[in-house]
Structure 1
């Protein structure tokens, strides 16, 4: 009986050792591989990036609270452009799915977006953060957007807003 028990234990140990040293099958490797998201890109601006995960702007807003974005969150966002700086294309706003939009600026003022892309979708790589934007800056953005004097004068309070500093943007077809 002792011989059978020892033989059984040895067989189990050999099977475990053999199973643990086997390479992953192709299907397991494929399941764990990280594959870049496929996008239908018309133009790219700024730094090149290959997104592994893209978060829709409204999902991002609902996923993270203001407290969680106390400093910054590095992410890749996808959203619809609602407005672009008409002076140079040096900023844009993205539809957040809520009342407030996401203000997007470009890292180191290193690139500009076309002025006529309102309504188009973009995918952006960068950092999201909250900022209190002073009245003079808000008025400046309103001027850049082509707002009339009455709309600009109506801006009288600073606003806490979600910002995004993009180092790369892909304009989708």
Structure 2
């Protein structure tokens, strides 16, 4: 009689310890398979874009953070403290949080998002009537990336 609960307890504890954290395998694909023939480093994407505001390309970089799993929202390291905000074009794609820190290849559309300059009339005045000049030259635009397909490297 006492052996039955002991046996169930032993089987349950073995099943709990048998579950291991799955690592993301090399070549795991989310969305469509990216075209890897011409890839740009994420750290050089802004220079590659030049004066263009939108460009279709394939980038290679490291995922800094998965901000939202549903819809595939994440950030990519762009070097020098800059970040590329990325999300999937197809909202049905769900990515794991384990993608953080992994190197990826992602195909999609990169775009520059411009921020209003302090000198524009919409920025407004301070209480004492002077303009605030807190926006530096690097923060006037940020890069976004709409991903069609992603592959874990």
The TM-score with structure 1 as length reference comes to 0.55
1:85 maps to which residue? 67
1:160 maps to which residue? 141
Shift of 1:130: 1.3
What is the rounded CA distance, in whole Å, between the counterparts of 1:64 and 1:49 in structure 2? 19
2:95 maps to which residue? 113
What is the rounded CA distance, in whole Å, between the counterparts of 1:78 and 1:170 in structure 2? 10
Q: Secondary structure at the match of 1:45?
A: strand
The Cα RMSD (Å) is: 2.6
Structure with more helix by fraction? 1
Which has the greater radius of gyration?
A: 1
Gaps of 5+ in 2: 1-24, 116-134
1:76 maps to which residue? 58
**Deviation sequence 1:73-105 (CA, Å, 0-9, x none):** 010000000010256463110000122200001
Question: After TM superposition, what 4+ stretches of structure 1 lie above 6 angstroms from structure 2?
Answer: none
Say whether 1:58 aligns with 2:43: yes
Say whether 1:43 aligns with 2:28: yes
The TM-score with structure 2 as length reference comes to 0.61
Q: How many residues align structurally?
A: 108
